[in-house]
């Protein structure tokens, strides 16, 4: 059983790797966006997923001597952690925080082959480059201070975790509200489309349908009215635009939620895209 100082050393090592991961991610994202981005779920300068992956590799793969095998096992281990993290956060917040669905050889959009190779290389760096240096730094801490330093870091981490979750306690409901607003908007649009019987009488409906599926429902109604004067033309109700829905969501966010949205610009409510695709298909079928 590891000693108290041993556990303290592991926790300090976890925080060091979490900080290193934050530095890498924030630097890359800040460069792409041409502005500083705090690339983390928490407020502080650390990414626990990097600390978890690094610590798991150190504990579970410490006896692997073959670099190729270490690369493969490290990629598999860290991809597993990323997959589980994505699943748990999705269940808690009803949102996909990252999505690799459009990338090759992905698994449910949570991990992909490129990430596997990146993580594999990362684990080699963790074991062969970072670990000796981090171990040396921890070794410079007097034994009497190891536990106090670890306790302070733990207190900071847990406080940050609590503050973040308090700030995000209504985030899940706000993300769900986007989907509700979208459903209401799309349902109203769908109800405004003429019936199949009316559409069957329209001349050149294919052209009208193409317009309607491009978002020009009002133009479609005008064309139907011109070509079918005997058929009452449906009126378009007041429908909030996507910009208005987005603005409503933006105004509802608190400071903590805004920071998280900036850190994860591709965050998306669960089933958002699938609902849009399904509704598009329903509208498409109306033209058949």
- Residue 191 and residue 137 share a domain: no
Same-domain pairing of 157 and 214: no
The token pair that represents 196 in the structure block: 């199949």
φ, ψ for residue 49, nearest 5 deg: -65, -30
- DSSP per residue over 102-140, as a string? TSTTEETTTEEHHHHHHHHHHHHHIIIIIHHHHHHHHHT
pLDDT at 71: 97
Same-domain check for residues 150 and 209: no
CA pair distance 271, 178, nearest whole angstrom? 11
β-pairing, 95-96 with 268-269? antiparallel
pLDDT computed for residue 205 by the predictor: 38
Residue 47 sits at φ, ψ, to 5 deg, of: -120, 100
Whether the per-residue pLDDT at 284 is higher than 90: the answer is no
Return the higher-pLDDT residue of 248 and 88. 88
159 and 176 co-located in one domain: no
> Which segments of the chain does DSSP mark as H helices, in order?
4-33, 48-60, 67-93, 113-125, 131-139, 143-167, 171-192, 196-201, 205-213, 217-227, 242-252, 255-263, 272-286
CB 122 within 8 A of CB 78: yes
Same domain, 149 and 237: no
pLDDT of res. 17: 97
In the predicted model, what is the mean pLDDT of the chain? 80
The pLDDT of residue 11 is 96
Domain boundary among 136, 151, 167: 167
Into how many domains does the chain fold?
2
Same domain, 247 and 208: yes
Residue whose entry in the numeric block shows the structure tokens 């106090």: 148
Based on the domain organization, do 180 and 83 belong to the same domain?
A: no
186 shares its domain with 140? no
149 with 177, same domain: the answer is: no
Read off the tokens for 8: 């303290």
| Of 177 and 221, more confident | 177
- Domain end, chosen from 135, 167, 199, is at 167
**Phi, psi torsion values for 277, nearest 5 degrees:** -60, -40
pLDDT at 84: 96
Q: Residue 202 has what pLDDT? A: 45
Residues 158-174: tens digit of each pLDDT: 999 998 888 887 777 77
pLDDT in tens, 192-244: 655 555 544 443 434 444 444 454 455 555 655 565 555 555 554 555 665 66
Contact 123, 78 (CB under 8 A): yes
Specify whether the CB–CB gap between 18 and 45 falls below 8 A.
no
pLDDT above 80 (res 185): no
More confident residue, 273 or 23: 23
Return the pLDDT at 257.
82
- Of 115, 147, 167, the last residue of a domain is 167
Do residues 192 and 234 lie in contact, with contact meaning Cβ atoms separated by under 8 Å?
Answer: yes
3-state secondary structure of 97: coil
Main-chain dihedrals φ then ψ at residue 107, nearest 5 degrees:
-115, 105
Q: Is there a single domain that holds both residue 177 and residue 162?
A: no
Listed in sequence order, the residues at least 6 apart from 110 whose beta carbon sits closer than 8 Å to its beta carbon are 82, 83, 86, 87, 98, 100
Q: How far is CA 194 from the centre of its chain?
A: 38
Confidence (pLDDT) at 223: 58
Rounded to an integer, what distance in angstroms lies between the CA atom of residue 259 and that of residue 204?
Answer: 50
Asked if residue 131 lies in contact with residue 125, where contact means CB atoms within 8 angstroms, the answer is no
- pLDDT of residue 281 exceeding 90: no
110 and 150 in a single domain? The answer is: yes
The residue segments making up the domain with residue 231 are: 171-286
Q: Are residues 209 and 139 in the same domain?
A: no
Is residue 81 a contact partner of residue 50, using CB atoms and an 8 Å limit? no
Residue given tokens 């599926």 in the structure block? 213
pLDDT band at 27 (very low <50, low <70, confident <90, very high): very high
Share above pLDDT 70 across residues of the chain, in percent, rounded to a whole number: 70
Q: Are 241 and 186 in contact (CB under 8 A)?
A: no
Share of the chain above pLDDT 90, in %: 45
243: tokens are: 């910009």
pLDDT tops 70 at residue 114: yes
């Amino acid at each position: 059983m590891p000693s108290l100082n041993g556990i303290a050393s592991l926790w300090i090592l976890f925080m060091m790797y979490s900080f290193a991961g934050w530095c890498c991610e924030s630097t890359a994202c800040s460069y792409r966006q041409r502005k500083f981005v705090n690339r983390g779920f928490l407020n502080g300068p650390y990414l626990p997923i990097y600390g978890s992956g690094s610590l798991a590799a150190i504990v579970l793969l410490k006896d692997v001597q073959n670099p190729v095998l270490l690369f493969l096992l490290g990629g598999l281990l860290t991809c597993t952690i990323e997959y589980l993290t994505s699943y748990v956060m999705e269940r808690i917040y009803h949102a996909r925080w990252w999505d690799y669905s459009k990338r090759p050889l992905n698994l449910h959009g949570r991990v992909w082959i490129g990430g596997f190779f990146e993580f594999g290389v990362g684990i080699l760096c963790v074991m062969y480059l970072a670990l000796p240096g981090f171990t040396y730094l921890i070794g410079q801490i007097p034994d009497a201070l190891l536990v106090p330093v670890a306790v302070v870091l733990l207190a900071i981490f847990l406080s940050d975790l609590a503050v973040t979750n308090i700030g995000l306690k209504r985030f899940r409901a706000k993300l769900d509200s986007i989907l509700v607003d979208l459903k209401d908007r799309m349902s109203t649009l769908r109800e405004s489309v003429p019936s199949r019987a009316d559409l069957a009488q329209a001349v050149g409906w294919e052209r009208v349908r193409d317009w309607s599926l491009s978002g020009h429902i009002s133009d479609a109604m005008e064309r139907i009215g011109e070509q079918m004067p005997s058929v009452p033309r449906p009126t378009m109700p007041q429908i909030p635009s996507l910009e208005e829905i987005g603005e409503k969501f933006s105004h509802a966010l608190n400071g903590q939620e805004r920071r998280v949205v900036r850190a994860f610009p591709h965050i998306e409510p669960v089933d958002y895209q699938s609902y849009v695709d399904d509704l598009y298909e329903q509208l498409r079928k109306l033209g058949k």
